[in-house]
Amino acid sequence: MQFGVILTVVSSIFLALTMMADKLMVGDFYQNNPKLAWVISSVAGSTIGLLATILLWLHLGLVETFTTFIEISSGFFYLGLYCVLAGILSTLTLRCYFKLMSEDMVSASVSIAVASTPIFIFLGQVMSQNQSFTIEHLISFLIAISGLVFYEYISNPHVSVNIFRTGPFIVGVILLGTAYVLLLDEIFIVTDSYNQWHQNSIVAILLPYYWLGLGLGFLYLFQKDIKNTIVYIFKRKKFIYIVLILETIGAGFFFFEFFGLSKISATLVALIIGAHVIFVWLFDLYISYAYHKANTAGKSEVQIHFFKVPTINLTAYNNTKKTHLMQFLSIILVLVGLWFWPEN
């Protein structure tokens, strides 16, 4: 269990790093085009994930792992198909995520939606295990959801973000994120009964199926508008290295989350990963500082390290210290709601 917690903590750190950079990447490198950001992330993430899996196979013993792959695939091919479905759900979560990142919203508004998924994972487990829904469950749920709603309200009252435009994508991040975690959890419950094979070998065997589903963006890679834009933006050579680094970190999030789910419960995984919102919120404070500094100087772009984002795309960061404090209290409210969920 301890190893599973370590893997999940690494996954949470990778998610925080990814979300801190993606707001700037979408606004600069991806030219505020969420579809382009998703396609590249899907293609790069699945490719890097497959390469990492090959290294894992070599580490575990290529011949032995491949033999086990044949044995399991012949008798339990349906598990592979479920992993493909989990990968597809993961990449659809990314699609909603990048759509939100292209809006004039603070990064933590998206991050807190991701952090709220555990409460829905808990609900899914209660329903799937035919448990009774108690008053303690209801209180925990209401606390977490109140924190989520209050954060969105306090962070974007002055921003022209149409709730009918962004709302479905926030719901998409939450529900699709919940669905793929619950599906993977069910898959690993089944694989726990395979006593004749080591769990790490089974995870390594199922990973390629997951990356196959995550690589849904390959279907869009050669669309004319996507292809032409990719050719244009990749002329900015310095960003090629940045993309590779960030996509490696992004793929690392899914890789370690996948392994974490194979070692510990989906509940604990969700709780650990949900804590990433604190780091994203802290980085939002830094972006807010950079925005105010650029806005005061009358600059049309906000420069943060090597990123340059139009000032008009970051008006959501025009918040006061009081707003920042209320955001922090909202985050604490969500985390309190999650941690007070009654144990099974």
Spatial contact of 274 and 114, defined as CB atoms under 8 Å apart:
yes
Number of domains in the chain: 1
CB 79 within 8 A of CB 187: yes
CA–CA distance, 329 with 187 (Å, rounded to integer): 36
Is residue 184 situated within a structural domain?
A: yes
150 to 99, 113, 143, 153, 332: CA distances (angstroms): 21, 12, 11, 5, 11
Residue 193 phi/psi, 5-degree rounding, is -85, -5
Using DSSP's 3-state secondary structure scheme, residue 162 falls into: coil
Q: Is 310 helix (H, G, I), strand (E, B) or coil?
A: strand
Residues 247 and 14: beta-carbon distance below 8 Å: no
Residue 215 CA to residue 39 CA, distance in Å, equals 9
- Would you say residue 213 lies in a domain? yes
* 28 is a domain residue: yes
**Gap between the Cα atoms of 158 and 305, Å rounded:** 27
Quick check: is 344 in a domain? no
Q: What is the pLDDT of residue 199?
A: 66
pLDDT of residue 64: 67
For residue 229, the model assigns a pLDDT of 78
* Residue 143 located in a structural domain: yes
Q: Which residues contact 276 (CB under 8 A, 6 or more apart)?
A: 12, 13, 15, 16, 19, 111, 114, 115
Question: What is the pairing mode between strands 307-310 and 301-304?
Answer: antiparallel
Which H or E element spans position 303? strand 301-304
Does residue 294 sit within a domain? yes
Specify whether the backbone of 205 is left (phi greater than 0), alpha (psi in -120 to 50) or beta: alpha
Beta strands in 2-76 (DSSP E): none
Both tokens of 334, joined, read: 């969500």
- pLDDT, position 343: 63
- Expressed as residue numbers, the domain containing 20 is 2-339
pLDDT in tens, the chain (344 residues): 577 788 888 888 888 888 888 888 888 788 888 998 999 999 999 999 999 888 888 877 766 666 766 766 666 678 889 999 999 999 999 999 999 888 878 888 888 888 888 888 888 877 777 777 788 888 888 888 898 888 888 876 554 555 667 778 888 999 999 999 889 888 888 877 766 566 667 778 888 899 999 999 999 888 887 877 777 777 777 777 888 888 888 888 888 888 788 777 777 787 788 888 888 999 999 988 998 888 888 888 888 877 888 888 888 888 888 888 999 999 999 888 887 877 65
In this prediction the pTM is 0.86
Q: Which of 101, 118, 107, 55 is nearest to 336 (CA)?
A: 118
